[in-house]
A and B are shown apart, each in its own frame.
Chain A
């Protein structure tokens, strides 16, 4: 069965500090993984996907199949990064599975 786990419900870091939001998954096939973000009073939106290997707003995420992880990282957190972050997995049947989310607060 597919499953996405985000172990941290809440995460606080100081501005300028590195941040890492953890995501682990279980899936027997070849996964497609995504990070979605929801800023205050905005809709849930895509932040990045592993297949494009891009850096968005300074965030990167590397798929580690050995550890079944897709952690989201940023070297220097900014106040505007404060938001709710969801890790998601898409299976071959085009179903999506979301984690429970991590609320990130960047302290000025």
Chain B
């Protein structure tokens, strides 16, 4: 089954701990994205990467970090510096062509208490 996967589906952490969310794709897409979704706010871009070993900050990158060591993987770390980490996190990938269609994962719901 091809596509983009995120794990785990639900994640619980204590305040002050870093946590890493997984995102993997086997679509051979060059670009990958991380979004945060909060009620009433739509999707907001955290980080994105257009090629391996390169990534750019989105509008709300503070308190987050990413890496892109492999084309198929784009993990997101939510650090203790993120003031409101409890949210739904969506990962997406996109081919580097003129369609720019984004393919979304199922999401991870992170709860920090």
Chain A residues within CB distance 8 Å of chain B = 4, 6, 9, 32, 34, 36, 43-46, 49, 51, 86, 90, 93-101
Contact = CB atoms under 8 A, between A and B. Distances in A.
B100 A44 contact: no
Contact of A94 (B44, B100, B103): B100
B102 A100 contact: no
B33 A101 contact: no
A82 B113 CA distance: 34
Given A44-B90, A90-B100, A95 B48 contact: yes
29 contacts: A6-B42, A9-B40, A34-B101, A43-B104, A43-B105, A43-B106, A44-B90, A44-B92, A44-B104, A45-B104, A46-B101, A49-B99, A49-B100, A49-B101, A86-B42, A90-B100, A93-B56, A94-B48, A95-B45, A95-B56, A95-B58, A96-B45, A96-B102, A97-B45, A98-B35, A98-B44, A99-B42, A100-B41, A101-B42
